[in-house]
């Protein structure tokens, strides 16, 4: 069963999207730190649509849906914008971003690091960004901490 | 977003409170920009009250690393919650030169005394 949330394309709506995603993941019994990472990936995908597809116009609408199929949690973001091929995007090296003093370029990088499946489906007048994360019984290993 | 500020002899501490996302990170960027423009080369972000960070927040931090490094300064982020620190680690930002992630806030000017 899918749960839906519809929001206007305003960055002020990102907190509501995160709350929705956290609630759904809790109902799906997805624990930390994986839950937080999925919330982050959804936040990044939605922010990307709002900023780059709709210039945060406050009128366009995003629809976020979440469901679990077997051991994979899916989030789908339906957007009426022009679409962005996040599934084929080659993340920029972080050191290059630092050198050029950039602030952008990290969001899709995060999505690719976190999610196991990234698909972009094109409809007649919309795109659906489908993000999947495989959930295991064991907590995901925490990244190693730098000495 | 509320951002507290403390001035020290050799560095400035900023204490953001709440979620650091695409909506709120603009305010932090403006505060850091003003500090860097004023000539300060050492910045400390006390992250104990950051509940969430997205790429927009990370982007603010890393965009100043080169400038501070050129001046012989440092960017220190302390006290991050596990879920926030994880986001740095996912992208390997915890291994960047000139960005210091530490558990405890600097007790004195020691963290900024030596050049990186």
**A141 — contact with chain B (CB < 8 Å)?**
no
Measured between beta carbons, the chain B residues lying within 8 angstroms of A18 are 19, 21, 52
Give the distance from residue B80's alpha carbon to the nearest chain A alpha carbon, in angstroms: 13
User: Hey, are the CB atoms on B55 and A107 less than 8 Å from each other?
Assistant: yes
The partner residue sitting opposite A40, judged by closest CB among B54, B62, B64, is: B54
- Per-residue model confidence (pLDDT) at position B109: 58
Q: How far is CA B3 from CA B7, B12, B13, B43, B75, in A?
A: 13, 12, 10, 14, 17
pTM for this prediction? 0.89
- The contact set of B with A (CB < 8 A) is 19, 21-23, 29, 52, 54-56, 58-60, 62-67, 82-83, 86-87, 89-96, 101
CA-nearest residue to A35 within chain B is B83
Tokens 């994360």 correspond to A133
Going by pLDDT thresholds of 50, 70 and 90, the confidence category of residue B107 is low
- Per-residue model confidence (pLDDT) at position A75: 98
**Strand spans (E) along A11-54:** none
Q: Which residues sit opposite B19 in a β-bridge? A: B52
- Per-residue model confidence (pLDDT) at position B110: 63
The partner residue sitting opposite B63, judged by closest CB among A102, A110, A142, is: A102
Q: pLDDT per residue over B41-59, tens digit each?
A: 999 999 999 999 999 999 9
Going by pLDDT thresholds of 50, 70 and 90, the confidence category of residue B113 is low
Which is it for the CA torsion A49, A143, B69, B30, positive or negative?
positive
| Model-level ipTM above the cut of 0.85 | yes
User: Hey, are the CB atoms on A104 and B59 less than 8 Å from each other?
Assistant: yes
Measured between beta carbons, the chain B residues lying within 8 angstroms of A47 are 21-22, 54-56
Task: Determine phi and psi for A35, rounding to 5 degrees.
Answer: -55, -45
- pLDDT tens for each residue of chain A, 147 residues long: 899 999 999 999 999 999 999 999 999 999 999 999 999 999 999 999 999 888 888 889 999 999 999 999 999 999 988 888 888 888 888 999 999 998 888 999 999 999 999 999 998 889 999 999 999 865 544 454 433
């Amino acid at each position: 069963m899918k749960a839906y949330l519809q929001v206007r394309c305003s960055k002020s709506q990102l907190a509501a999207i995160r709350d929705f995603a956290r609630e759904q993941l809790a109902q799906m019994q997805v624990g930390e730190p994986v839950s937080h990472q999925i919330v982050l990936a959804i936040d990044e995908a939605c922010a990307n649509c709002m900023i780059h597809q709709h210039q945060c116009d406050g009128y366009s609408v995003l629809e976020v849906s979440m469901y679990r199929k077997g051991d994979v949690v899916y989030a789908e973001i339906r957007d009426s914008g022009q679409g962005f091929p996040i599934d084929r995007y080659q993340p920029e090296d972080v050191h290059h971003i630092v050198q050029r003093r950039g602030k952008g370029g990290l969001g899709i990088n995060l999505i690719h690091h976190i999610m196991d499946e990234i698909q972009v489906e094109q409809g007649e007048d919309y795109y659906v960004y489908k993000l999947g994360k495989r959930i295991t019984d064991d907590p995901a290993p925490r990244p190693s901490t730098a000495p | 977003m509320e951002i507290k500020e403390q001035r020290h002899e050799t560095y400035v501490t900023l204490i953001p409170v709440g979620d650091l996302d695409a909506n709120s990170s603009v305010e932090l960027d403006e505060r850091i920009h003003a500090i860097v423009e004023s000539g300060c080369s050492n910045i400390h972000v006390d992250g104990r009250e950051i509940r969430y960070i997205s790429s927009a927040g990370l982007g603010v931090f890393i965009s100043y690393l080169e400038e501070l490094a050129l001046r012989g300064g440092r960017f220190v982020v302390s006290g991050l919650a596990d879920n926030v620190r994880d986001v740095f680690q996912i992208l390997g930002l915890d291994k960047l030169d000139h960005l210091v992630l530490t558990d405890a806030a600097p007790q004195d000017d020691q963290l900024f005394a030596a050049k990186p």
